[in-house]
Amino acid sequence: MKVFVTRVIPEEGRKLMIDAGIEVQEWKEKRALSKEELIAHTRDCDALLSVSTRLDKDFLHASRHLKVIALHSVGYDNVDVEAATAVKIPIGNTPGVLSGATADTAFLLMLATSRKAFHMHKSIIKGEWGFFDPTANLGIELRGKTLGVFGLGKIGLEMAKCCIGAFGMQVIYHNRNRNETAEKELNASWVSFDELLEQSDVLTVHTALTPETEGKFDRSAFNKMKPHSIFINTARGAIHNEPDLLSALLKKKIWGAGLDVTNPEPMHPDHPLLNMPNVSVLPHIGSATEETRAAMSVLAARNIIAGLKGERIPFVVNPDVYK
């Protein structure tokens, strides 16, 4: 049995597959594969372990011989899941293990943005650390403020816990369905989307990218937010409209933004958001810790091993494939 892996993954996951008797063929070049290369490389493989690779209908139809596809991510917005189900390929993801690390990244962006930390660091490098001015370089405080979570699932819950623990923040959230566990654990209140916009001092996005959430944070949404609010997105860049975000910051409709995800990725180095004092941008590193990436590789490997044994994969995103 042979698996094609679209990037080099942590040793922990690779070893698990090798120990299970699977031949592991990794794409070692530091560039993304084209669709044609992906089809060619998976042609003689039984499974695919996909890292940040778009798997569209064409690919899935051309690769219907695959017994399983394991994603090295919790998000599966870059896969045509419906097409995979139609050709009977189970798709697996890596839920749970990256919640802490991703929430840490959101927390880091919130704090860094509130104190303009990335901008201050750049200004020291540019030799701009001048005389001490008590009215310059002022940030805003987070203590006792209201955290609004858009998508209170596992990652949002971890972010909320950090914000309550560190700053005693009040938590409000907007989900399609109420999260009663979080309401009990965090004393969080469900609010409508408009109330979330109007009441949050920090609004943090932790939802999946779907047709309903795509472009959700646009001009009209930013216009409803508080002028002193901070917008944080560690989920997917397409959930916010980037030109509208830039304009909201320039017009002081909101105070700041922290992004681990942009639209497109990578963000162009000349992008005006990168030169704004109240904006912090990271290159999609939400889950990038040694511990979390190792754990993700293990879950992906478990999906591959089960799929190749003909068993139900443990973290399936398209359970209909088994009907």
| Residues contributing to the site for ligand DGY (CB under 6 A) | 52, 73-75, 98, 286-287
- CB atoms closer than 10 angstroms to residue 283: 12
**Helical ranges in 115-241 per DSSP H:** 117-125, 154-167, 180-186, 193-199, 219-224
Spatial distance between the Cα atoms of 226 and 167, rounded to a whole number of angstroms: 19
CB of 261 to ligand DGY, least distance (A): 7
Alpha-carbon distances of 287 from 39, 80, 101, 260, 292, rounded to whole Å: 28, 23, 5, 10, 6
Active-site annotation holds for 72: no
Residue placing its CB nearer to ligand DGY in the complex, 75 or 156: 75
Residue placing its CB nearer to ligand DGY in the complex, 171 or 239: 239
Residue placing its CB nearer to ligand DGY in the complex, 35 or 154: 154
How many residues can be counted in the chain? 323
Beta 146-150 vs 2-5: how paired, if at all? unpaired
Instruction: Name the catalytic one among 236, 240, 293, 302.
Output: 236
Beta-carbon contacts of residue 318 (< 8 Å; ≥ 6 apart): 81, 84, 85, 90, 91
Peptide linkage before 272 cis (omega within 30 of 0)? no
Smallest CA-to-CA distance from 233 within 252, 213, 258, 254 is with 258
Instruction: Name the catalytic one among 11, 23, 82, 265.
Output: 265
Residue placing its CB nearer to ligand DGY in the complex, 74 or 163: 74
Amino acid at 99: S
CB of 72 to ligand DGY, least distance (A): 8
- Chain-centroid distance of CA 35 in Å reads 23
Instruction: Name the catalytic one among 115, 240, 284, 293.
Output: 284
Rounded (5°) CA angle 130-135-141: 110
Active-site annotation holds for 236: yes
CB of 32 to ligand DGY, least distance (A): 13
CB of 76 to ligand DGY, least distance (A): 8
Residue placing its CB nearer to ligand DGY in the complex, 244 or 260: 260
Residue placing its CB nearer to ligand DGY in the complex, 67 or 72: 72
CB of 114 to ligand DGY, least distance (A): 23
CB of 8 to ligand DGY, least distance (A): 16
Spatial distance between the Cα atoms of 199 and 74, rounded to a whole number of angstroms: 29
**Helical ranges in the chain per DSSP H:** 11-19, 35-42, 57-62, 81-86, 99-114, 117-125, 154-167, 180-186, 193-199, 219-224, 242-250, 290-308
Active-site annotation holds for 119: no
The residues that are catalytic are 236, 265, 284
